[in-house]
Structure 1
Amino acid sequence: MKKCIEMVSLLIHKNILFIVEGEDTEPKLLKKIYKYMLVDEYEVYSYKTCIYELYEELDRDEYLDILQLLKEKTTSDHDRRILSRKYAAIYLIFDFEPLYHRYDFEKIKNMIKFFNESSENGRLYINYPAVESHRHLRMMPDNSFLELKVNETQIRRYKHFVSLNSDYTDLNSYTYDIVLEMIAHHFIKYNYILYGDNRMSTIDQFRMLSYKEDIKIAEIQDALFKSEDNSVLVLNTSLFYIIDLKPESFFKSRVKSLRL
C-alpha cells in the first residue's frame, strides 16, 4: 500500500532522471527543452563514458539496479544524492558510436531490450550518430532530412560537421516552435526508416510502438554502416522522451499534420 501511495505521488510530480553520456551538450539541450515543453522536476546524471562501458558494468549482474550501480561507483556527494532519490521515469541517452573500438551491436540490442520502460528499469534512447543530430537540420520544414546520412569521415568530426551544416547551431535561439518541429522531424524520420511513411503518425500508432521498433532501427543503422555505403542515417531519438511523457499534448500540437 505504501509503495502504491509513493508511486501516485511520484506520478503527480513527474520526478524524472536523465542518465546521459556527456557533461555538456546533453544537459544544455535538456535544460532548453524543459524550458518550453515541461514543468516537471528533473535531474541529470552524467555517466561520462559510452554505452558499451555501461553494458560491461551491468552485464556482470543482470539483476543489478542501475541507480544502485551508479551510486556505488560515484565519489561525488551531489551525484549520490541524485541517485538516491525515487523517480517516476528514468531515461538513458547515449550515442551509437559505430567507430568505438569496442563497438558491439549485440550489446546495443541487449541494452535496448533491458532498458525498455521508463517507469521500470529505464528507457534507452540512442542518437545516430551522436546527440548533435538533434540540430542537423536546415531551415524547417527540411524535406531533405528524411534521406540525410553521414559517412565514416563525417562521423569522426561530427560535432564540427554539424556546425557547418545546420541552421540551428545556437541553442539560445531555440523557441517553443523550433523545439516542437525538431522533435517532429526526427519522429517522422523514425517512422520513415521503419515504414517508408513521411507523415506524422497518430497517437494510437505511437502507443503501439515498443522496444522492438528501436531494435529494428538499430539493425538498419548497423547494416548500413557495415555495408559499402559505410554511413548512418541521422536520427535523434532522445527527443522522443517528450512524446513519451506528454503524448496528448504533442499529438494535439500543430505538427500533427506535418509531412516531409
Structure 2
Amino acid sequence: MVNLMRKKILAIVEGEKKEPEILRRVLDISGLKQREIVPYKANIYDLYDRLYSEYGDTIDDVDIQEFLKEIHPDPESQDILDGNYTDILLIFDFDPQDNRYSAGKLIRLLEIFNESTQMGRLYINYPMVESFYHFRSLEDDSFLKEMFNLAEISPGSIYKERVNRLTCIHQLRDVTKKELAYMIRLILKKVNRICERECTAAELADTLQDVADCQIQRLSAQQSMYVLNTCILYVYEYNPRMLDWLDYR
C-alpha cells in the first residue's frame, strides 16, 4: 500500500498554464494532493545554459531549489521553494526546433536529474506537453504508431492543431482513473517498443535515458520521432498497481 500522506511533491514545469493544468489533474486522480508547481517559464536548453553558467563543472551538485530562488524572487515562489519535499519533478518539452537544441545537453540533464527523491527527476515530453492528448483511442494500439516530424513543430502550432483534431480526450477535467490507467499502459507499451525491452517501474530512470537516446538517434536519421508523454509515468513509478484501475467500471 502506497502511503500518499508522506508524499509532498515539488514540480518544476516549463510553462505557466498547460503543464500545471495537466499535472494537477493527473496528481488529483492519483491521490497526490500535497504538491506545489513552479513554472520555469523557459525551455530545457535555457535551463541547461543557466545551470552551466552558474555551476560550471560542478553542475552535478546543483541545488535546484536554491537555483530557482534566484530566478523567482517573488515572495510566493520563495515560500514554495523554501519548503521540504519528498519528490522533485522537472517536466520539459523536447523542443528539437530550438536553435539551442543539443542532444548532449539533454542527456546530461537526464543523468543529473535521475532520482525524484534526491536532486529531482527530469521527464521529457516528445515533442511537447500536448502529447498528453495525442490519443485517437484508448481502446486500441493506434497510439503505438503515432509519430511526429520536425516540420510539424516549426512552428509548434502545426502539431497542436493536429492533436486537437485527432484526440479522444476532449475535457481534461473528465479524465478518469480508468482512462489514465489506459494512457499509462499504452505509454509503457510504446516505451518497451522504443527501447526493445520490457521496462519496469523500478528501472524508470534508466528507461527515460534509453528513450531519449533512441529518440535522438531516430531524429538524426529520419527527422521524425515517436510521440510520447513521459511525465505521467511518475504516478506509475510510485504505484505500479495503478494499472488495476483498468478493471474499474
**TM-score normalised by L of structure 1:** 0.85
Equivalent runs, 1:86-97 vs 2, <5 Å: 86-97=84-95
Residue aligned with 2:232, SS = helix
Q: Say if 1:58 and 1:66, in contact at 8 Å, map to a contact too.
A: no
Q: Say if 1:51 and 1:95, in contact at 8 Å, map to a contact too.
A: yes
Q: Is the counterpart of residue 104 in structure 1 residue 102 in structure 2?
A: yes
Counterpart residue identity of residue 216, structure 1 = D
Residue aligned with 1:125, SS = strand
Counterparts in 2 of 1:50 and 1:128: CA distance versus 1, 3 Å: same
Give the match for residue 250 of structure 1.
242
Counterparts in 2 of 1:11 and 1:164: CA distance versus 1, 3 Å: closer
The structure 2 residue matched to 1:240, chosen from 215, 233, 237, is: 233
Residue aligned with 2:99, SS = coil
Give the match for residue 3 of structure 1.
none
Distance in structure 2 (CA, Å) of the matches to 1:212 and 1:39 = 24
Q: Is the counterpart of residue 73 in structure 1 residue 67 in structure 2?
A: no
Counterpart residue identity of residue 143, structure 1 = D
Render the CA deviation track for 1:162-208: whole Å, top value 9, x for unaligned: 101211132132122112211221122111111266xxx6xxx332x
Q: Is the counterpart of residue 22 in structure 1 residue 52 in structure 2?
A: no
Distance in structure 2 (CA, Å) of the matches to 1:64 and 1:219 = 23
Residue aligned with 1:91, SS = strand
Counterpart residue identity of residue 76, structure 2 = H
Counterpart residue identity of residue 231, structure 1 = S
Give the match for residue 177 of structure 2.
176
Counterpart residue identity of residue 117, structure 1 = E
1:39 Cα deviation from its structure 2 partner:
3.6
157-166 vs 83-92, which moves further: 157-166
Give the match for residue 129 of structure 1.
127
Q: Say if 1:96 and 1:127, in contact at 8 Å, map to a contact too.
A: yes
Give the match for residue 225 of structure 1.
219
Counterpart residue identity of residue 87, structure 2 = A
**TM-score normalised by L of structure 2:** 0.89
Distance in structure 1 (CA, Å) of the matches to 2:175 and 2:244 = 21
Q: Is the counterpart of residue 51 in structure 1 residue 44 in structure 2?
A: yes
Unaligned runs of 5+ in 2: none
Give the match for residue 201 of structure 2.
206
143-152 vs 170-179, which moves further: 170-179
217-226 vs 80-89, which moves further: 217-226
Render the CA deviation track for 1:72-109: whole Å, top value 9, x for unaligned: 12121111111110000000000111101100000001
How large is the RMSD of aligned CA atoms in angstroms? 1.9
Residue aligned with 1:17, SS = strand
Distance in structure 1 (CA, Å) of the matches to 2:238 and 2:206 = 19
Distance in structure 1 (CA, Å) of the matches to 2:99 and 2:148 = 19
Q: Is the counterpart of residue 216 in structure 1 residue 217 in structure 2?
A: no
1:24 Cα deviation from its structure 2 partner:
0.9
Counterpart residue identity of residue 250, structure 1 = M
Distance in structure 1 (CA, Å) of the matches to 2:71 and 2:90 = 17
